[in-house]
Chains A and B, each alone.
Chain A
Amino acid sequence: MTDNIRHDPDDRLDHSIAALRNTPIPAGPNAQTIAATLAALRRAASGNFVAPDPTPVSSLSSVVTLFRSLKITVYRHRKASAISVALSLAIVCAFSLFGGGNSVSLAQVAERLRSVRSVTSTARTTIPGQNEPIILKVEQLGRRTRSEMPGGVITITDQDFGEILLVNPILKTATLTKMDTLAKVELLMGPQQQPAMPFDPIRDLRRLADQQGKSVGEQRIGNVKAKGIRSTLDGREITVWIDPDTKLPLRIETVVETAGQKTRVTLDEFAFDVPLDEKRFSLDAPPGFMPTQ
């Protein structure tokens, strides 16, 4: 048997092979992916392997630039929509701030989250100059995330489809945007190392396994005396409060920078593996809403 395969340029299969082979390819993994892979290998070598976990992808700088790119200045309703998207992404990024190092407690959290399929939580974001925090209800089912602002602006991200749907009940519009389009916008907006990536809180929380944390004592959250672990990443401080019995997070606090302003984000009221209706994550425009792109 030889390696001879007759190639026919008119053959649809050969044409498609050539098309796939000739597709421009990025140079390789980014620094975050490499770091996460090395961390996974270290965990595997130490016997503390959590899972062949996906890489950390979303970056805070992505959100900052995206926020800028959305230009939340023109109309109030548009502003609400832009804020919804930016905050949704910022909140999800808050989950993704964990990476690198080793901590037994955080590794336990990651282990507990390994089999989690769905999460709901409440996010409170306090923007400088505003008295009241903006409260978002966040739901995640697998690789889909839905967040809802007061007033009903809804953002749905679907990593499998690579798309974001923004439903604006005031304008009665449902705007579908490709994530890679947002990434390109981001690249055009400033010196970024990597394009924006899909967002996945569950996956990102699993990366707690790599976090080198410092104990910050205890705090009562509901009926639980939660243990706090604080760390910094790229100069940002993150605190996660953990239920010592369930090893699940009760609260996450961080500060994200959006459009040059420092916004405090707190996520709590977590519920894990709650039944969520698949229809809530549909990328189709709801009845009565005008689909736009």
Chain B
Amino acid sequence: MIDWDGIVQRDGPGTWQAAWRILGNRADVDDVFQEAFVDAFTYSQGRTIANWRALLQRLATTRAIDRLRQRIRRRGREEPLVDRLVATDLAPPQVAQEAELSAQLRMALVEINSKHAEVFCLFHLEGWTYQQIAEHLAVSTDVVGVWLNRARGKLRELMRDMSEGSS
């Protein structure tokens, strides 16, 4: 019998935060959070899960990228998520600049291969190692490295285009 209450209490915050880094919007993150746990339930049937936190973070990351893709396709762009009350004249310019950069990265993320985006997020945002990612995706660390480099190359290219387009 799986102790879901315990797992939600223990690993819920990390799972939720993984989705937040990608989405930055509570409504979307709440949706993704629940979806990730239901995915984990389905995945765990007939299996023994050694590391719930890692599984949930990965599922939340995948779901969050999907949600981000839907959101941006519908809106056409990603708004910089600067707190409106903070983003007044009192806000330092770099806050707005960082929000703009985050928005550009989010927009670029949905344009690249889903698997590459997942590896990118797990490595750069969640701090996973190549080895951890490789184990969870059932690929070699070499493959992880290739995917990550492809993700970075494509993202850099996309962000350069965005930057030139906005200047």
Question: Which residue numbers of A lie inside 8 Å of B, CB to CB?
Answer: 1-3, 5, 11-13, 15-17, 19-23, 25-30, 33-34, 36-38, 40-41, 44-45, 49, 52-55, 57, 159-162, 178, 180-181, 184, 195, 197-198
Contact = CB atoms under 8 A, between A and B. Distances in A.
Given A1-B142, A52-B35, 18 more contacts: A1-B145, A2-B145, A3-B130, A5-B123, A12-B156, A19-B101, A26-B16, A30-B30, A33-B34, A36-B34, A37-B12, A44-B42, A45-B41, A52-B39, A54-B31, A160-B71, A197-B26, A197-B30
B125 interface: yes
Contacts of B24: 23
A162 B41 contact: no
A36 B106 CA distance: 28
A27 B13 contact: yes
B83 interface: yes
Contacts of A180: 83-84
B38 interface: yes
Contacts of A178: 84
B41 A17 contact: no
29 contacts: A2-B145, A3-B123, A5-B152, A16-B105, A17-B105, A20-B106, A23-B24, A25-B21, A26-B20, A26-B26, A27-B13, A28-B12, A28-B17, A33-B30, A36-B34, A37-B12, A38-B8, A40-B37, A41-B37, A52-B34, A161-B75, A162-B27, A180-B84, A181-B84, A184-B83, A184-B85, A197-B26, A197-B27, A197-B30
B98 A19 contact: yes
* Most chain A beta carbons < 10 A, residue from B27, B38, B41: B27
A192 to B, nearest CB: 13
Q: Which of A3, A23, A178, A197 has the most CB of B within 10 A?
A: A3
A181 B86 CA distance: 10
B54 interface: no
Contacts of A44: 38, 41-42
Interface in B72-112: 74-75, 79, 81, 83-85, 98-99, 101-102, 104-106
A59 to B, nearest CB: 12
B113 interface: no
A55 B30 contact: yes
Interface string B7-30: 011001100110011001111011
Nearest to B95: A19
Nearest to B141: A1
Q: Is the interface of B mostly helix, strand, loop or mixed?
A: helix
Contacts of B20: 25-26
Contacts of B33: 29, 33, 37, 55
Contact of B101 (A15, A33, A52): A15
Contacts of B124: 17, 21
A37 B34 CA distance: 5
Interface of B: 4-5, 8-9, 12-13, 16-17, 20-21, 24-27, 29-31, 33-35, 37-39, 41-42, 71, 74-75, 79, 81, 83-85, 98-99, 101-102, 104-106, 123-125, 129-130, 140-142, 144-145, 148, 152, 155-156, 159-160, 163
Contacts of B16: 26, 28-29, 33
**Shortest 8 CB-CB distances between A and B: which pairs?**
A28-B13, A19-B98, A1-B145, A16-B105, A16-B101, A54-B31, A55-B30, A52-B35
A21 B42 CA distance: 30
A23 B125 CA distance: 11
Contacts of B5: 38
A16 B107 CA distance: 12
A54 B34 CA distance: 7
Contacts of B21: 20-21, 23, 25
Contacts of B123: 3, 5
Contacts of B142: 1
A160 B105 contact: no
A29 B130 CA distance: 28
Interface centre among A36, A160, A178, A197 (most CB of B within 10 A): A160
Contact of A181 (B4, B85, B101): B85
Contacts of B106: 20
Contacts of A55: 30-31, 33-34
